[in-house]
Amino acid sequence: MSAGPQAGPGPEDEPPEPRGTLRPTTARALTVCAVLGLVVGWGIHPVATALTGRPPLVSWVQALALVMVAAIMGFLAWHTWQTVHVRGERLEPHQAVNRLVLGRACAIGGTLVAAGYVGYAVSWLGDASQLADRWVLRSVVAAAGAAGVMLASLALERACRADGGRSQP
């Protein structure tokens, strides 16, 4: 009994090439990070004071480092936008993926850190300590730097989109 000639898998038998889609970082993910950051940032002051007897230090170096990272991310977003959307050049696949992952990670991390510094600043409001004003100011500057990181990172993520950021049907 012969089954007849067996044909190899033809193009019609092969499954279609998988086409993945990446959606931009959602507002939901950023909101969750912001809420988590606020709670942790607000809680650090009383917990650290109870455990060690003094609150954590917020230095100008921390705040200015975040402002510098925001500037670097902003430059990278601008450069990527110019390359892909203005000049119409293509990035190497590994460069595009690296920039997309960097943008997404920094957007989430920047949101978490910005909210953490805001929570820490809020924990000092109404405190009679002479350090309170200093920590509030430094925390607000650091939060602004981290918010800049988040915004520049979202711009980088958008710049990596080959379709110009248009919604797909």
DSSP 168: P
Per the model's pLDDT, the better-predicted residue between 67 and 166 turns out to be 67
Is residue 8 assigned to a domain? no
Q: Is 1 helix (H, G, I), strand (E, B) or coil?
A: coil
Question: 117 with 146: CB under 8 angstroms?
Answer: yes
Asked if the structure places residue 169 within a domain, the reply is: no
Helices (H) and strands (E) in the chain, counts: 4, 0
- Length of the chain (residues): 169
17 belongs to a structural domain: no
Place of tokens 């975040």: 66
The number of distinct structural domains making up the chain is 1
Decide if 165 is inside a domain.
no
pLDDT tens figures, 8-65: 555 566 766 666 677 888 999 999 999 999 999 999 999 999 999 888 989 999 999 9
What is the pTM (predicted TM-score) of this model? 0.81
Residue 99's pLDDT band (cuts 50, 70, 90): very high
Look at residue 35 and tell me if it is in a domain: yes
